[in-house]
Amino acid sequence: MRESEEKHYIARYTTLVVVWVALIVLTWLTVRVSGLGFGTLSILAPFLIASVKAFLVVDYFMHLKYERPFFKWILLVVLGMVVVVAWLVYEDVAYR
């Protein structure tokens, strides 16, 4: 089970820089949209953009896009857990 000769993904410098540019642009965008939407929904747009940024970092800087499926599955489990826990806590807080 031990592979000393594994093929490792090596990220291209250009790819990394392109992703970085996207991240900077998205950051600027986050600031721009933060005024939109009213009340508590105003968190939604920046949060969604933040998630896009996070996924760019995970996929390209952390190479998840090129990893074996196992890593993607455990990320899914983690995100699922987060969603379910938040949902259950909100079931309390929203209806008190």
Partner 1 sequence: MSIQESYLEAGPGSRLFSWIFSTDHKRIGLLYLMVIMSLFFAGVALGFLMRLELISRGPTIMEAQTYNSLFTLHGVIMIFLFIIPVTTSVFGNFMLPIMIGARDVAFPRLNLLSWWIFVAGAALALATLALGPADTGWTFYAPYSLRTGQYVSLAVFAVFVLGLSSILTGINMITTVHRLRAPGMTWHRLPLFVWAVYATAWILVIATPILGVNLLMVMAERFFHIGVFDPALGGDPILYQHLFWIYSHPAVYVMILPSLGVIAEIIPVFSRKIIFGYKAVAYSSIGIAAVGSLVWGHHMFVSGYSYTAGVIFSLFTFLVAIPSAVKVYNFVGTMYRGSIVVDTPFYFVLAFIYMFAIGGLTGVILGALSINIHLHDTYFVVAHFHYIKFGAAALGFFAALHYWFPKVFGRMYNRGFANLSLLVFFIGFNLLFMPMFVLGYEGMPRRYFDYLPQYASLQVLSVVGSWVLVLGLVMMFGNLIKGLLSGKPAPQNPWGAATLEWQIPSPPPRENFREIPEVQHSPYHFENVRRELD
Partner 2 sequence: MSEGMERTAHRDYTGAKIGMWLFLFTEFFLFFAPVLLYTIYRFRYHEAFVASSHELDLATGSINTAILLTSSLTMAVAVSALQRERARLCLWMLGLTFALGAVFLANKYFEWAAKFSHGIYPGSDALAGGPPGQGIFYGLYFFLTGLHGLHVLAGMTLIGVMAVMVHKKRVSAADHVRLENTGLYWHLVDIVWIYLFPIFYLVR
Site for partner 1 in 33-72 (CB under 8 A): 70
Number of residues that bind partner 2 (CB under 8 A): 49
Choices 11-19, 37-45, 50-58, 88-96; region in contact with partner 1 by CB under 8 A: 88-96
Sequence-ordered strand ranges (E) for the chain: none
**61 touches partner 2 (CB under 8 A):** yes
Taking the alpha carbons of 85, 55, 21, 38 in that order, is the dihedral positive or negative?
negative
In angstroms, the CA 53 to CA 4 distance is 33
**85 touches partner 1 (CB under 8 A):** yes
